[in-house]
Amino acid sequence: MKILVTGAKGFVGQNLVANLKNIQQGKNRTRPALQIDEIYEYDINSTQQELETYCAQADFVFNLAGVNRPKDQSEFMQGNFGFASILLDTLKKHGNTCPVMLASSIQATLIGRYGESDYGKSKLAGEELFFAYAGETGAQVLVYRFPNLFGKWCRPNYNSVIATFCNNIANDLPIQVNDPNVELELLYIDDLVEEMLDALEGKAHRCNYDGLAAQAAADGRYCYAPTTHKVTLGEIVELLDLFKAQPQSLVMPEIPYNSFAKKLYSTYLSYLPAEKTIFDLKMNQDERGSFTELLKTLSCGQFSVNISKPGITKGEHWHNSKWEFFIVVAGHGLIQERRIGSDEIREYEVSGDKIQAVQMLPGYTHNIVNLSQTENLVTVMWANEQFDPQHPDTFGEKVEAKHE
């Protein structure tokens, strides 16, 4: 299959092309039926002759080209409707009736605050042009009305509030929120790319529109990406402030699978400057070695790393309710546990050569011994709760002590 992507250097185009190349090069094997032979990248610096060649050979066209922030409002119609007309005329010239996807906008509904939008009017004109083309040629057209898009590589201070907020907060620049209660419908770039790949495989999700809302319909006039998120500006800023504080707090906010928070965090990270991509952790050091907290979560405990110098024993304490995993990743050690009130000792010899997780049980005093006289023992530790100095639930008692 030969695929033409117009607007290939734009936000959506870059993400789509990168993922098409992953499939073409065999790096993404999740769509084994999809065979990509050529990817034609057309953008503002491409020539008419290149467009002619691409339109003559393409088996599928993603038309992502468009104008979002022109110097003059009249450029909306020229850049959105005008190029769409050129593209379709070129396909007709070469008798190519392959499927064509159009990136339109929810603003094309001309409903509510979009009622007088020149941008929306130009997108609506482009839609009608595509539908007329389908009626004339019999070609399949897939018209998508995008809500607000966000994700990596989106240009800040342009037409995405998420990109602007992520960029500014990551770079310690001010943001402006006039009304934190304003709700946005947001579509993440990876969800959009997956939908476009579905379309490429003939599995586009179809819909009709009830106002601004997409209504799934097998024979719908439009297409849509089924996964979007409705979030207020205040909620977005609150999450971004938590993300920014993470290197200091070490607390990772709740990020459920496929949630908006997960997608926003990935987006935020893509705007971090080089100097903020690395940050120091507090190492608590003494003559025995060091202990460093790595990461804390709101409901799933914390991660730490413990370094024991040669011959050193650490621990010798127990917990009422807290439990832990000790995972030795380098060195050679011995983990011992003894139930309080008992003489029986459980012993586990561990090594970075065979990584294992050993559970520290509630009600068992435990330690970890570096058996080497020359090498450090490195242990990754997970505890089911963050350490609370006001309620540490930690009580000293040697493992070797005998019950009396």
| pLDDT for residue 401 | 67
pLDDT over 90 percentage in the chain: 90
* Domain residue ranges of the chain, discontinuous segments joined by +: 2-249, 283-396
User: 295 and 302 in contact (C-beta within 8 Å)?
Assistant: yes
Residue 119 designated active-site: yes
Q: Which residue has the higher pLDDT, 382 or 81?
A: 382
Burial (CB < 10 A; 0-12, 13-18, 19+), residue 239, is: buried
Positive or negative, the CA dihedral 246, 250, 253, 259 is positive
pLDDT band of 241, cuts 50, 70, 90: very high
Taking residues 198-219, report their average pLDDT. Answer: 96
pLDDT band of 79, cuts 50, 70, 90: very low
Pick the closest to residue 53 from 64, 42, 37, 66 (CA basis): 42
Topology of the domain comprising 2-249: Rossmann fold (3.40.50)
CB atoms within 10 A of CB 241: 10
Classify residue 401 by its DSSP letter: P
Helix extents (H) in 211-294: 233-249, 260-269
CA atoms within 13 A on the CB side of 123: 26
Residue 70 and residue 330: Cα distance in Å, rounded? 58
pLDDT band of 117, cuts 50, 70, 90: confident
User: 212 and 112 in contact (C-beta within 8 Å)?
Assistant: yes
Would you put residue 7 in left (φ > 0), alpha (ψ -120 to 50) or beta?
A: left
Is the pTM for the entire model greater than 0.95?
no
pLDDT band of 340, cuts 50, 70, 90: very high
pLDDT digits (tens, 9 = 90+) for 20-59: 999 999 999 999 999 999 999 999 999 999 999 999 999 9
Hunting for tokens 């607007």 — which residue is that? 7
**What are the backbone angles phi and psi of residue 367, rounded to the nearest 5°?**
-150, 175
* Inter-CA distances, 164 with 87, 170, 230, 263, Å: 32, 10, 18, 15
Which tokens is 100 given?
Answer: 């064509």
pLDDT digits (tens, 9 = 90+) for 380-396: 999 999 999 999 999 99
Q: Which residue has the higher pLDDT, 213 or 70?
A: 213
Q: Which residue has the higher pLDDT, 68 or 291?
A: 291
> What CATH number should be reported for the domain whose range is 283-396?
2.60.120.10
- The angle at the Cα of 247, spanning 241 to 252, to the nearest 5 degrees, equals 70
pLDDT band of 80, cuts 50, 70, 90: low
CA 318 to chain centre: 39
Mean pLDDT, all residues of the chain:
94
- The angle at the Cα of 324, spanning 321 to 329, to the nearest 5 degrees, equals 170
| pLDDT for residue 404 | 46
Residue 122 and residue 103: Cα distance in Å, rounded? 12
Residue 163 scores a pLDDT above 50: yes
Pick the closest to residue 263 from 239, 291, 238 (CA basis): 239
Which tokens is 179 given?
Answer: 């009304």
Would you put residue 118 in left (φ > 0), alpha (ψ -120 to 50) or beta?
A: alpha
Taking residues 114-122, report their average pLDDT. Answer: 84
Q: Which residue has the higher pLDDT, 184 or 74?
A: 184
Burial (CB < 10 A; 0-12, 13-18, 19+), residue 85, is: middle
Length of the chain: 404
Taking residues 10-19, report their average pLDDT. Answer: 97
Q: Could you say which of 40, 119, 265, 268 is catalytic?
A: 119
Pick the closest to residue 394 from 316, 299, 286, 282 (CA basis): 316
Residue 387 and residue 272: Cα distance in Å, rounded? 29
